[in-house]
Structure 1
Amino acid sequence: MRLHVADHPLVAHKLSVLRDVSTPSPTFRQLVDELVTLLAYEATRHVRTEEVPVQTPVALTTGIKLADPSPIVVPILRAGLGMLDGMTRLLPTAEVGFLGLRRDEETLEAITYANRLPDDLSGRQCFLLDPMLATGGTLVASIDYVLQRGARDVTVVCLLAAPEGLKLVEEFVGDRADVSVVVAAVDERLNEKAYIVPGLGDAGDRLYGIV
């Protein structure tokens, strides 16, 4: 597993506003969108491409385009939906799948309740979107889900990660696949309720309200 922490002043600034408990939901959603666009730039650094001929007004040259099959972007419901626009802004030709998992608040285990993914992901670059990598249980379940369908090139985009979650993902992945994790920051730890500290609270609730 490769970890990339986006070290950029704009990332740090937007993340600081997201952490602020007084930031309202509309501003929170807008900042998540902007921050994910910045993270997407780093996450797609190794997206597969192929050469194509391009006729400019002056001469014929060689350009590049995204290679087939196209990447697939998979937001993990529901909080991952808030990251989708920021990611597809840079990858407009990507297909979009959906994966619904929730964390059992007692056992902290991830439970799958919905999916909309191709049965065969062989040869596809998969981008998983989830704001918080806390215990790592949800992300491990999501990675396992796409690996079972043949994916071997997976990039995870998160706003924040905890060391405990990163360790679990690394142990799970091992040498099974090429997995990268791109985050805006790695925080200190998890608290007794498995929330990231200092974190930014429940990303889903802050994006969409408590329902």
Structure 2
Amino acid sequence: MRTIVADHPLVAHKLAVLRDESTPSPTFRHLVDELVTLLAYEATREVRVEAREIRTPVAVTQGVYIADPPPLIVPILRAGLGMLDGMTRMVPKAEVGFLGMVRNEETLEATTYANRLPDDLTGRQCFLVDPMLATGGTLVAAIDYLLDLGARDVTAVCLLAAPEGLAAVEAAVGHRAEVTVVVAAVDERLDERGYIVPGLGDAGDRLYGVV
């Protein structure tokens, strides 16, 4: 498993504003969208492409296009929805699937309650988007779900990760397929509730309010 930390001043600045508890939801949503666009640049560095001949106004040359089958972007509901526009803006050819997962706050285990995915993901590059990689339970379950459908190339795009979560993902699925995790930062640790420290709180609540 590879972990890529996007080391860039703009990433660090936007993340600092996201961490601030006084940042209101509209600003939070806007910054998440901008930050994901920057992370998507790193996450898609190895997206599959194919060469095609094109004609410019001056001459014939070779151009590079995203190859078929197109990448599949899978936001993990609900917080992952806040990252979807930033990904599709960078990869407009990509298709979008949805995976609904919820974490039990007592056991910290994730369960799947909804999905909208192709039946066969063989040969597809998949990009999971979820703001927080905390205990790793949700991401492990999501990656397992994609692997069971035939995927073998999965990249997870997260705003923040905890060391414990990264270790859990590597131990559980890192040997099963080519897995990459792209994050804006790796934080210190998890607290007793399984929240990332210093983190930024509950990303879903800060994006959409407490429902």
Which residue of the partner structure matches residue 184 of structure 1?
184
Aligned to 1:58, the other structure's residue is in SS state coil
Q: Within 1, Cα distance between the matches of 2:82 and 2:175?
A: 31
Q: Within 2, Cα distance between the matches of 1:105 and 1:178?
A: 29
Residue 173 (structure 1) shift: 1.7
Q: Within 1, Cα distance between the matches of 2:106 and 2:171?
A: 23
Q: Within 2, Cα distance between the matches of 1:55 and 1:4?
A: 37
Identify unmatched segments of 5+ residues in structure 1: none
* 1:11-36 CA distance string (max 9 Å, x none): 00000000000000000000000000
The amino acid that maps onto 2:73 is V
TM-score by length of 2: 0.99
Aligned to 2:64, the other structure's residue is in SS state strand
Q: Within 1, Cα distance between the matches of 2:201 and 2:90?
A: 27
Q: Within 2, Cα distance between the matches of 1:206 and 1:74?
A: 21
* 1:78-125 CA distance string (max 9 Å, x none): 000000000000010100000000000111100100000001000000
Residue 175 (structure 1) shift: 2.3
Q: Within 1, Cα distance between the matches of 2:75 and 2:144?
A: 15
Moved over 2 A (4+): none
TM-score by length of 1: 0.99
Which residue of the partner structure matches residue 159 of structure 1?
159
State percent identity of aligned pairs.
79
Which residue of the partner structure matches residue 29 of structure 2?
29
Aligned to 1:31, the other structure's residue is in SS state helix
Which residue of the partner structure matches residue 123 of structure 2?
123
Aligned to 1:159, the other structure's residue is in SS state strand
Identify unmatched segments of 5+ residues in structure 2: none
The amino acid that maps onto 1:82 is G
RMSD: 0.4
Residue 6 (structure 1) shift: 0.1
Aligned length: 211
Residue 176 (structure 1) shift: 1.1
